[in-house]
């Protein structure tokens, strides 16, 4: 029996949380690193004060040694931080891939659950039929009006109108809105 993709995702999140807690417990935070730096700086300063009575060459040597200790401590701290960041980046890349796989599986499962291809095909067909009906409804009225405007003599009678001749020989289409009563003669 395979696990639910969402349960796999929740398990992966729990593992990441545990890894992050372990990483926080084993690495120096900013305050601890500052404390270590201060302690080293104080020790070097004490050594420098003790050496003030020594000859100038000894003082120069101690000063150089102090600077070297500071550089070495800084390099060691930077290296440790880089190592931790590299490890975290690797873990995050693994988790990102796991999440991507779980999301793909969930998407495929949802596709299967909701009918997949046939639902998609039916929805496309229904949408096309609806758009076709709307287009036919929209075009029908406009097309008749346009044809009537181009050829009024042909469509006047079909539209309920009557061709009227004028004294100057011109004609027009008259459409009754309300017909007068016909006399019975």
Domain membership flag for residue 105: no
Same domain, yes or no: 142 and 123: yes
Quote the domain boundaries for residue 122.
Answer: 114-149
Mean pLDDT of 83-103: 88
Number of domains in the chain: 2
Measured between alpha carbons, how far is 185 from 183 in angstroms, rounded to an integer? 6
Same domain, yes or no: 168 and 143: no
Domain membership flag for residue 141: yes
Domain membership flag for residue 45: no
Domain membership flag for residue 129: yes
Domain membership flag for residue 15: no
Domain membership flag for residue 157: yes
pTM for the model stands at 0.27
Is residue 164 within 8 A of residue 174, CB to CB? The reply is yes
| Mean pLDDT, the chain, integer | 79
Domain membership flag for residue 79: no
CA dihedral 89, 95, 98, 103 (to 10 degrees): -110
Residue 154 has pLDDT above 60, yes or no: yes
């Amino acid at each position: 029996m395979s696990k639910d993709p969402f349960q796999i995702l929740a398990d992966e999140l729990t593992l990441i949380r545990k890894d992050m807690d372990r990483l926080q417990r084993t690495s120096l935070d900013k305050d601890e690193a500052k404390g270590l730096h201060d302690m080293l700086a104080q020790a070097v300063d004490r050594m420098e004060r003790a050496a003030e009575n020594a000859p100038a060459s000894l003082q120069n040597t101690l000063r150089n040694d102090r600077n070297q200790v500071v550089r070495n401590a800084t390099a060691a701290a930077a290296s440790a931080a880089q190592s931790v960041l590299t490890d975290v980046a690797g873990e995050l890349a693994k988790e990102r891939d796991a999440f991507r796989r779980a999301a793909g599986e969930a998407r495929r499962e949802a596709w299967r659950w909701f009918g997949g291809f046939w639902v998609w095909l039916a929805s496309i067909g229904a949408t096309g039929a609806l758009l076709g009906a709307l287009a036919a409804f929209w075009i029908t009225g406009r097309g008749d009006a346009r044809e009537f405007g181009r050829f009024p003599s042909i469509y006047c009678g079909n539209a309920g109108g009557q061709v009227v001749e004028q004294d100057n020989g011109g004609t027009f289409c008259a459409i009754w809105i309300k017909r007068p009563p016909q006399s019975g003669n």
